[in-house]
C-alpha cells in the first residue's frame, strides 16, 4: 500500500486531486481511498488531504501518520507547516516549485527522494490559471509509478468536461518535466 499526504491551501484543489486520483485508481482495478482532513476548511488556510492506493482491499480507516509520499501544492507552506512530519525513512517528497530538488532538500533538511516541478508555471501556460492540483497528479504518478498517466483520462474527463484535455496536457508536462533527486 502507498499512502500519500497532500499539503495545500484551501481553494487550491487538494481535495479534488485526491478524489480524481482515487476514482482513477479504482477504475484501473486497484483499491483506493481519497479523503480530506476532516473538518471545516477555509480558503487560503493550510489544508491536508490523503490518498491510499493498494492492490488489495483497504481496511484501515484511521488517519495517515506515516506517509510514503508527501506532495506539496504550495511551497509557501514549507517552514509554516511541518511537511515532513512522520514521512517514512526513504520516503519521497514532491514540491510544486521552480526551485531544484537540491535547493528544496536544503530547505527541508531531508535526506530521502526530493522531486520538484514548476506546476504553477505549467498550469498557467497550459490552462491559463495558476492552479496546479491536477498538474501535480502527473508529478505524483511519475515519482511513485503507482499507475499509468493514461489511467487518469476518464476521471479527469468526467470531472472537467471540455477543459479536461488542458488538465491532461498539464499533467503530462509535469510527468515529463519533473526533476527527481534521490
Partner 1 sequence: MAKRIGMEVAVAVAEAVGLCDIDMAAVYPITPQSHIAEHLSDLVADGKIDAEFVTVESEHSAMSAVIGASGAGARSYTATSSQGLMYMHELLPIASAMRLPITMAIANRAVSGPLNILNDHSDIMPQRDSGWISIFVENAQEAIDMSIIAFKIAENKDVMLPVNINIDGFQLTHMVEPFEMPTQEEVRNFLPPFVPHATLHPAKPVTMGAFAMSDYFPEIMKAKDEALKNSKKIILEVWDEWAKMFGRAYKPVETYKAEDAEVLMLTMGSMGETAQMAIDELRAKGVKAGLVKLRLWRPFPFAEIKAAVKNAKKLIVTDRAVSFGGPGGPVFSEVKSALYAEAQRPVIYDYIYGLGGRDVPVGDFVGMFERVLADTANKEVDTYEFWGVRE
**Cβ contacts of 26 within 8 Å, gap of 6 or more:** 32
**The binder of partner 1 chosen from 4, 14, 32, 69 (CB under 8 A):** 32
Q: What is the DSSP letter of 37?
A: P
Q: Does 34 bind partner 1 (CB under 8 A)?
A: yes
Cα–Cα distance for residue pair 111/99, rounded to 1 Å: 17
Q: Does 19 bind partner 1 (CB under 8 A)?
A: yes
Q: Does 38 bind partner 1 (CB under 8 A)?
A: yes
153 closest CA partner among 175, 123, 180:
175
Range 62-91, binding partner 1 (CB under 8 A): 62-63, 65
Instruction: State the nearest-atom distance from the C-beta of 177 to partner 1, in Å.
Output: 28
Instruction: State the nearest-atom distance from the C-beta of 174 to partner 1, in Å.
Output: 22
Instruction: State the nearest-atom distance from the C-beta of 60 to partner 1, in Å.
Output: 6
> For residue 34, what is the enclosing H or E element?
strand 31-36
Cα–Cα distance for residue pair 71/11, rounded to 1 Å: 16
**The binder of partner 1 chosen from 10, 35, 121, 151 (CB under 8 A):** 35
Query: Is the Cβ–Cβ distance between 75 and 97 less than 8 Å?
Result: yes
Instruction: State the nearest-atom distance from the C-beta of 89 to partner 1, in Å.
Output: 19
Cα–Cα distance for residue pair 41/9, rounded to 1 Å: 9
Q: Does 14 bind partner 1 (CB under 8 A)?
A: no
Residues that bind partner 1 (CB under 8 A): 18-19, 22-27, 29, 31-36, 38-40, 58-63, 65
Amino acid at each position: 500500500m502507498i499512502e500519500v499526504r497532500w499539503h495545500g491551501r484551501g481553494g487550491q484543489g487538494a481535495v479534488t486531486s485526491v478524489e480524481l486520483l482515487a476514482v482513477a485508481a479504482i477504475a484501473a482495478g486497484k483499491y483506493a481511498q481519497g479523503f480530506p482532513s476532516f473538518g471545516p476548511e477555509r480558503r487560503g488556510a493550510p489544508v491536508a488531504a490523503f490518498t491510499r492506493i493498494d492492490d488489495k482491499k483497504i481496511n484501515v480507516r484511521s488517519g495517515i501518520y506515516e506517509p510514503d509520499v508527501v506532495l506539496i501544492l504550495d511551497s509557501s507552506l514549507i517552514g509554516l507547516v511541518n511537511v515532513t512530519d512522520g514521512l517514512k525513512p526513504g520516503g519521497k517528497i514532491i514540491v510544486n516549485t521552480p526551485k531544484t530538488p537540491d535547493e528544496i532538500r536544503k530547505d527541508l533538511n531531508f535526506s530521502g527522494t526530493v522531486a520538484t516541478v514548476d506546476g504553477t508555471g505549467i498550469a498557467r501556460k497550459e490552462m491559463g490559471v495558476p492552479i496546479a492540483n491536477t498538474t501535480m497528479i502527473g508529478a505524483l504518478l511519475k515519482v511513485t509509478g503507482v499507475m499509468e498517466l493514461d489511467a487518469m483520462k476518464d476521471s479527469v474527463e468526467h470531472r472537467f468536461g471540455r477543459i479536461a484535455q488542458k488538465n491532461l496536457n498539464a499533467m503530462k508536462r509535469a510527468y515529463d518535466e519533473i526533476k527527481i533527486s534521490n
